[in-house]
Chain A
Amino acid sequence: MSTTGEQGGLGKYVVVYISMLVIAVIELLIAYRHPSGGQLLVSMLILAFIGALLGVLYFMGLGSENRKAILAFAVFTLFVLATINYGWTDSFRLLLGAPFAK
């Protein structure tokens, strides 16, 4: 919740709450449709990010914080989250034995 935020109705929080529940149910349904590994991962990640975004913006109130604060937090966090994924190519190398397996 924000420092300078609103004290209005609960409507938007109820919508976010229901949306998060719906996202969880959709994830469950997708998992039991047994798509391929890549499709499953992508769809799960997209849904998880949507749920997380709703949580951060509304339940944590980042959406009604100071714009500069949002920018600083988001840029810094997303940059580190992006760079932390540098090792994925190596996991494929371990799996496929290419290109530097020997």
Chain B
Amino acid sequence: MSRTEAALGGHHTPVMEPSPFAVPAIKLAMWLFIISDIMTFAACLVAYGFLRNSTPNWPRPFQSSTIISVMVMTFILITSSFLMVLAVRAARAGDRAGAFRWTMVTLAAGAVFAILHIREWYGMIGQGMTFSTNPWGTGLFGGAYYSVTGMELLHVIAALIALLIVGLGYKSGRYGATHIENCGLFWQFINIVWMFVVPLVYLMNAAS
């Protein structure tokens, strides 16, 4: 395979300038998207940190039941990341059935994570926390909490839709291994963001 063909992910297309860094163009685009998304999440987390640091009566409302639930969610998400690695490896080895199976298992794990996440939100809403008010302290807390975790949940739901579409497309032969790999990159990114959300938003606000 020529360098140009490799850059285009193995597809036979007219000769054009190779993709930078010899990374397939579709994958490079995903990396650039992820980098831009890192900036978005970083801005959210820094804004959250700014508010938390500058607000004296910042609430710490998360009871141990919430923290246990969040740790279960963390276990599920990290496990799903490992499962996605298996899907990508199978796709790269040309094992369509295996890649599809692991992608769907990842999707199922992600769906459980999303359901638990929504359940958490319902719990917080049930305790009287809205975007601007809550029973514990500054109203800024709700806005910060729902913004950061909402961004994460939005990404998870988007990734679940992408996994379903690309998984089915890969099984039918419409999509290639590079597409599964791209979905994998996005899914791993979501897991990495969660690694910052859990300690900064949940654990640092656990009730004494």
Q: Which residues of A contact B (CB under 8 A)?
A: 1, 3, 5, 7, 10, 13-14, 17, 20-21, 23-24, 27-28, 30-32, 34, 40-41, 44-45, 47-48, 51-52, 55-56, 59-60, 65-66, 68-69, 72-73, 76-77, 80-81, 84-85, 87-88, 90-92, 94-95
Q: Residue-by-residue, is B157-198 near A (CB-CB < 8 Å gives 1, otherwise 0)?
A: 000000000000000000000000100110011011001101
* Cross-chain contact A84 with B199 (CB below 8 angstroms): no
Cross-interface CB contact of B195 among A52, A72, A85, A88, cutoff 8 Å = A52
With contacts A1-B89, A48-B199 known, what are 16 further pairs, Cβ within 8 A? A7-B92, A13-B85, A17-B79, A24-B78, A24-B195, A27-B203, A32-B206, A34-B208, A56-B192, A60-B185, A69-B28, A77-B38, A84-B43, A91-B51, A92-B53, A95-B55
Q: Which residues of B contact A (CB under 8 A)?
A: 6, 20-24, 27-28, 31, 35, 38-39, 42-43, 46, 49-51, 53-56, 67, 71, 74-75, 78-79, 81-82, 84-86, 88-89, 92-93, 181, 184-185, 188-189, 191-192, 195-196, 198-200, 203-204, 206, 208
20 contacts between A and B (CB under 8 A): A1-B88, A1-B92, A3-B23, A5-B92, A13-B85, A14-B82, A20-B81, A24-B74, A28-B67, A44-B204, A45-B199, A55-B192, A56-B192, A60-B184, A65-B23, A66-B22, A69-B20, A87-B50, A90-B50, A95-B54
Residues of A within 8 A of B46 (CB): 84-85, 87
Alpha-carbon gap, A77 to B27, bound state (A) = 17
